[in-house]
């Protein structure tokens, strides 16, 4: 899988991903210094030899993205333990002009988390300290490398939760989540990271530490700089520590899986569940038939409902089980009576709920098994939400595409549109892009709702942002990182 087309290639291992520099031959390496033995020696002085990885088998995984669509050529991976070490490493890279790729759990979907050429990888993998948990205010302060699921488990002990959940929770780092402004399954309820991150500490390209690590819920003293680090994908600095507002963990969670005859019924159900479930609604996801087929066929999972054109997951989280169940029951009865919903099941207990969540959370993994996956993550007005899938299905007819499917966060207007092929196909890509971006922009949607721009989408930024905004972004980049060493070739468009 993810093999790339047979073009001239230096691939030596048969299942290795094509180098990014080969797949994108128009791209040229920036004017950065090249790594020398003296640099490695300096890194070893700072970290000790055990945390400077240079063996090809140790470095390989850090060069390739999870989707197996891009591959960089970093020769070394640095594994600092704390802010001071990150500062010393970046101080050296900055003064030498060495380009750097900050890396968390490497679960990004737009090629933002791996090097493009030979950038030095600085991994947050060893920065896993949870420094404090204020249970009465509901605030955690931690290092950037804590795995999302581990952080949530730690908070569960004191009755709190991370206000963020996504399929990659077992591998992604909270610092990476913040750097990419990850959205996920419960944004509908708990809001975006721009609201829940209370503070950020980051290290700039110069090695300077910027302390915006407030742990107060409210702080209106000057420009809110931490917001710039949220979602800038490591191009302005490397996030080392952060503080996060954490909601009280719900005492009662209910999950319903519904089948629906058509997309208007999905929208109707969304509108109705907002009214009926109100403050206890914690997730509203949809899955089309093609996505459900993929997860059952490719992963062998079982859908407990009869086959249908659309499915939805509706989750409630509340403080009193009887109340929540009563609200959910009334809502489901009304939807079934009306015929808006064809069938439904309510999962009782965490085990059954987890089984149902897998049908949604493992779609990305299932799609990869088809071979190559072209992934799109767009925001759209609900009136044209599913048109994005049908328009692309028509446009790709006859091109040998395996699937063209949609699923995602309908409650947030966020569509995950995915097209799979047996292997990478330039013809398919050219048929999708820039058409899909133009179509999305025409509806005033966003060409990247939550995945970010990373490497793959940076040159399409103008479909969602004005020239004046892009110009300001470039000037801000210049302020934070004058030499441009922080995660180059990402987020901002090529000249």
Q: Which of residues 205-264 bind its own copies (CB under 8 A)?
A: 208-212, 214-225, 227-228, 230-232, 236, 248, 250-251
Ranges within 452-471 binding its own copies (CB under 8 A) = 452-453, 457, 461, 464-466, 468-470
Examine residue 194 and tell whether it contacts its own copies (CB under 8 A).
yes
CB of 76 to its own copies, least distance (A): 28
Here the tokens at position 147 are 């795995």
Per the DSSP assignment, residues forming a β-bridge with 253 are 317
DSSP string, 351-381: HHHHHHHHHHHTHHHHHHTTSEEEEEEEE--
Ranges within 129-148 binding its own copies (CB under 8 A) = 134, 136-138
Residue 171 DSSP SS3: coil
Q: Choose the stretch contacting its own copies; rule: CB under 8 A; options: 12-20, 57-65, 271-279, 283-291.
A: 271-279
Other Cβ atoms closer than 10 A to 68: 19
Q: How far apart are CA 305 and CA 105, in angstroms?
A: 34
Among 183, 234, 406, 484, binds its own copies (CB under 8 A): 183
Indicate the residue among 22 and 134 with the shorter CB distance to its own copies. 134
Indicate the residue among 194 and 354 with the shorter CB distance to its own copies. 194
Examine residue 175 and tell whether it contacts its own copies (CB under 8 A).
no
Nearest to 77 by CA among 62, 93, 88: 62
x/- track of binding to its own copies for residues 410-429 (CB under 8 A): --xxx---------------
Among 196, 291, 388, 425, binds its own copies (CB under 8 A): 196
Biggest CA pair distance of the chain: 73
Q: Which helix (H) or strand (E) holds 254?
A: strand 252-260
Indicate the residue among 21 and 181 with the shorter CB distance to its own copies. 181
Indicate the residue among 264 and 400 with the shorter CB distance to its own copies. 264
218, with CB counted inside 10 A (0-12, 13-18, 19+), is exposed
How many residues would you count in the chain? Answer: 495
Examine residue 5 and tell whether it contacts its own copies (CB under 8 A).
no
CB contact at 8 A, 433 and 415: no
CB of 398 to its own copies, least distance (A): 31
What are the φ/ψ torsions at residue 342 (nearest 5 degrees)? -80, -40
Q: Choose the stretch contacting its own copies; rule: CB under 8 A; options: 82-90, 204-212, 362-370, 392-400.
A: 204-212
CB of 457 to its own copies, least distance (A): 8
Indicate the residue among 143 and 232 with the shorter CB distance to its own copies. 232
Examine residue 187 and tell whether it contacts its own copies (CB under 8 A).
yes
Looking at 280-435, which runs of residues are DSSP E strands?
281-288, 310-318, 343-347, 372-379, 403-409, 414-421
Residue 472 DSSP SS3: helix
Residue partners of 72: CB distance under 8 A and separation at least 6: 19, 20, 63, 64, 101, 114, 115, 116, 117, 118, 119
Ranges within 311-350 binding its own copies (CB under 8 A) = 317-320, 323, 326-327
Q: Total residues at the site for its own copies (CB under 8 A)?
A: 92
Other Cβ atoms closer than 10 A to 268: 16
Ranges within 45-84 binding its own copies (CB under 8 A) = none
Among 5, 158, 429, 472, binds its own copies (CB under 8 A): 472
CB of 196 to its own copies, least distance (A): 7
CB contact at 8 A, 420 and 366: no
466, with CB counted inside 10 A (0-12, 13-18, 19+), is exposed
CB of 187 to its own copies, least distance (A): 7
Q: Choose the stretch contacting its own copies; rule: CB under 8 A; options: 62-70, 100-108, 307-315, 377-385.
A: 377-385
Q: How far is CA 365 from CA 34, 147, 422, in A?
A: 36, 19, 15
Examine residue 275 and tell whether it contacts its own copies (CB under 8 A).
yes
Q: How far apart are CA 210 and CA 197, in angstroms?
A: 16
Indicate the residue among 2 and 183 with the shorter CB distance to its own copies. 183
Among 32, 66, 117, 270, binds its own copies (CB under 8 A): 270
Among 276, 360, 416, 483, binds its own copies (CB under 8 A): 276
CB contact at 8 A, 234 and 490: yes
CB of 46 to its own copies, least distance (A): 21
CB of 143 to its own copies, least distance (A): 18
HSE-up (13 A, CA, CB side) for residue 495: 2
Indicate the residue among 153 and 248 with the shorter CB distance to its own copies. 248
The gap from C-alpha 380 to its chain's centroid, in whole angstroms, comes to 18
Examine residue 279 and tell whether it contacts its own copies (CB under 8 A).
yes
CA angle (404, 408, 413) in 5-degree steps: 110
Q: Choose the stretch contacting its own copies; rule: CB under 8 A; options: 68-76, 92-100, 194-202, 388-396.
A: 194-202
Q: Which residue, chain included where needed, has tokens 């060493």?
A: 485
Indicate the residue among 108 and 125 with the shorter CB distance to its own copies. 108
Q: Choose the stretch contacting its own copies; rule: CB under 8 A; options: 10-18, 72-80, 286-294, 406-414.
A: 406-414
Examine residue 494 and tell whether it contacts its own copies (CB under 8 A).
no
Indicate the residue among 52 and 141 with the shorter CB distance to its own copies. 141
């Amino acid at each position: 899988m993810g093999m790339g087309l047979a073009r001239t290639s230096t691939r030596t291992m048969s299942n290795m991903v094509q180098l990014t520099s080969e797949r994108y031959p128009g791209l040229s390496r920036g004017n950065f210094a090249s790594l020398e033995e003296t640099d490695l020696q300096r890194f070893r002085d700072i970290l000790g030899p055990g945390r400077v990885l240079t063996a090809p088998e140790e470095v390989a995984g850090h060069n390739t993205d999870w989707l197996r669509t891009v591959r960089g050529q970093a020769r070394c991976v640095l594994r600092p333990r704390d802010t001071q070490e990150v500062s010393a490493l970046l101080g050296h890279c900055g003064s030498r002009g060495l380009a750097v790729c900050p890396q968390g759990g490497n679960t990004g979907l737009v090629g933002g988390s791996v090097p493009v050429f030979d950038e030095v990888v600085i991994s947050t993998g060893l920065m896993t300290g949870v420094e404090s948990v204020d249970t009465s205010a509901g605030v955690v302060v931690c290092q950037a490398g804590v795995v999302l699921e581990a952080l949530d488990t730690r908070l569960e002990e004191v009755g709190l939760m991370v206000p963020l959940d996504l399929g990659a929770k077992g591998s992604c780092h909270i610092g990476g989540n913040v750097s990419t402004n990850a959205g996920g399954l419960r944004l509908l309820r708990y809001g975006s990271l721009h609201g829940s991150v209370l503070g950020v500490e980051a290290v700039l390209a110069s090695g300077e530490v910027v302390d915006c690590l407030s742990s107060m819920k409210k702080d209106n003293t000057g420009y809110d700089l931490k917001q710039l680090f949220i979602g800038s994908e490591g191009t302005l600095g490397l996030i080392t520590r952060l503080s996060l507002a954490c909601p009280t963990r719900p005492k009662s969670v209910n999950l319903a899986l519904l089948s629906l005859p058509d997309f208007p019924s999905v929208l109707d159900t969304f509108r109705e569940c907002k009214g009926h479930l109100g403050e206890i609604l914690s997730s509203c996801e949809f899955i089309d038939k093609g996505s459900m087929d993929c997860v059952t066929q490719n992963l062998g999972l079982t859908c407990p409902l009869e086959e249908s054109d659309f499915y939805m997951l509706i989750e409630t989280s509340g403080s009193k089980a009887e109340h929540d169940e009563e609200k959910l029951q009334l809502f489901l009865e009304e939807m079934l009576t009306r015929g808006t919903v064809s069938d439904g099941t309510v999962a009782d207990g965490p085990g059954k709920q987890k089984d149902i969540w897998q049908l949604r959370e493992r779609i990305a993994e299932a799609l990869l098994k088809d071979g190559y996956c072209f992934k799109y993550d767009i925001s759209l007005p609900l009136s044209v939400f599913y048109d994005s899938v049908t328009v692309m299905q028509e446009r790709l007819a006859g091109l040998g595409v395996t699937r063209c499917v949609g699923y995602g966060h309908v409650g947030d207007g966020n569509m995950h549109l995915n097209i799979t092929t047996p292997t990478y196909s330039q013809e398919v890509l050219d048929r999708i892009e820039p058409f899909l971006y133009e179509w999305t922009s025409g509806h005033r949607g966003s060409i990247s709702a939550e995945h970010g721009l990373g490497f793959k989408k940076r040159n399409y930024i103008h479909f969602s942002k004005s020239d004046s905004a892009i110009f300001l972004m470039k000037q801000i980049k210049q302020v934070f990182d004058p030499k441009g060493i922080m995660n180059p070739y990402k987020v901002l468009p090529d000249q």
